[in-house]
Amino acid sequence: MVTVDDLSSGQSLPEPIVVEVTDINWQAGQSRRAVIELVDTAGNPLRLIDYEGAAISIDWKQNHQYRISRCGVQKGGRGFEIDLAPSKNTQIKPLGSTDPTTRLLVVGDTHIGRTTHPRTGKKIKPRHAFSTAIEYGINRDADAVVHVGDIFHESATSTHADHVDTHVFAPLADANIPFHYITGNHSSSPGDELLQQRTGNLVTNLDPRGVSVNSQVRVFGIDHHKNGNIPWNDLAFPNLVSEPLSVLILHQTIEQLSGHGSKTVDLERIDRQFGGQFNFILAGHHHDASRTDWGDIPVMYTGAAEHMSTNNDPDDRIAWLLTVENNSIVCDRYNIP
């Protein structure tokens, strides 16, 4: 691996260099898109001048690593010995974050397509709530967004779906943040079509096999089933989970939160079929947030992303940020402004 010590100004990189971004100065001056402050793998400082002429499409992020090859080297300025001077031939590959913290933005019951509050009849803005929560997740450098169901309401039109594509999926794609969801008990055809179109690297319908967020966390989901009739024999959880932490997402009435009833889902029954250990369980469907501890497993209703609880004492227009550090999960509330 080359370091700053192997570079001389006026020549190109002899081999690719791996650098980490320590600071970004956008709009750095004429013909420059940005000036990026870096350290090499030995901790030596250097800069990269992101010239407009080099047509670099990288969205530089602090604490992220990049592998740079075929790049010019010149004498540095402002206290830096060396500047990297990319051209159109330069190749830059993002290597991801060096931040050991995993963050999941959890949002649910967005009911895009609703326009009025189901009890008071007041105007509501589910699209604004959803896109604001997503913006928050992007700003907090979330590793993934998890949606606990009811993305779209029956009344969602193709205009609503387009809005979600533009203000949710496009910015997430730009930020390289995947969106994992389960289906709820509400949907619309234009919404379903959008989800189908976007399904791939960016958008995933979670199932009991789960999706790896990174080496720390795996997220499992079970789509909504009417009256709590989960197809118990089809819960194909993996036999072995390599990630140390497992998060389960549901869209049901949960016995551990709502008490026993004919339509409730008993987590015990799910847990019995899972060989591992859930570390956090989150459910959509109930539009007020609430939380309990089931043994040592936190279980919560996330509450709706926009005001739509019909209860007298509503607890809605919320999203959550799950932060994973040192193999434990902290859940912080985000009141959507």
Question: Interface with Mn ion by CB under 5 A: which residues?
Answer: 109, 150
Please identify, using beta-carbon distances, which residue of 83 and 109 lies nearer to Mn ion.
109
First to last CA, the chain: 47
If we measure between CA atoms, which residue out of 162, 168, 164, 160 comes closest to residue 142?
Answer: 168
The least CB distance from residue 184 to Mn ion, in Å, is 6
* Least CB distance to Mn ion at residue 154 (A): 11
Query: Which of 218/286 has CB closer to Mn ion?
Result: 286
The Cα-based distances of 318 to 160, 174, 304, 333 in angstroms read 20, 24, 6, 7
Report DSSP state, residue 167.
I
For Mn ion, the closer CB: 215 or 310: 310
Rank residues 218 and 287 by Cβ distance to Mn ion and give the closer one: 287
Q: 90: how many CB neighbours lie within 10 A of its CB?
A: 20
CA 297 to chain centre: 22
Q: How far is the CB of 150 from Mn ion (least distance, A)?
A: 4
CB of 304 to Mn ion, least distance (A): 6
3-state DSSP percent of the chain in helix, strand and coil, to 5 = 20, 35, 45
**Contact partners, residue 13, CB within 8 Å, separation at least 6:** 2, 7, 68, 69, 70, 71, 72, 73, 84
CB of 286 to Mn ion, least distance (A): 8
**Token digits of residue 173:** 């794609």
The smaller minimum CB distance to Mn ion, of residues 178 and 284, is found at: 284
Question: What is the Cβ-side half-sphere exposure of residue 150, based on CA atoms within 13 angstroms?
Answer: 27
Minimum Å gap between C-beta 35 and Mn ion is: 47
Print the SS3 string covering 117-131: CCCCCCECCHHHHHH
Q: Least CB distance from residue 287 to Mn ion, whole Å?
A: 6
Measured from the CB atom, the residue of 116 and 327 that comes closer to Mn ion is 116
CB of 12 to Mn ion, least distance (A): 57
Could you give the CA distance from residue 159 to residue 164 in angstroms, rounded to a whole number? 9
Return the closest-CA partner of residue 3 out of 38, 34, 35.
38
Closest approach, Cβ 111 to Mn ion, in A, equals 6
The residue whose Cβ lies closest to Mn ion is: 150
* Closer residue to Mn ion (CB): 48 or 148: 148
102 vs 302 by CB, closer to Mn ion = 302
Q: Could you tell me the two tokens for 242?
A: 């390599």
Query: Residue type for 267, please?
Result: L
The nearer residue to Mn ion, 40 or 109, going by C-beta atoms, is 109
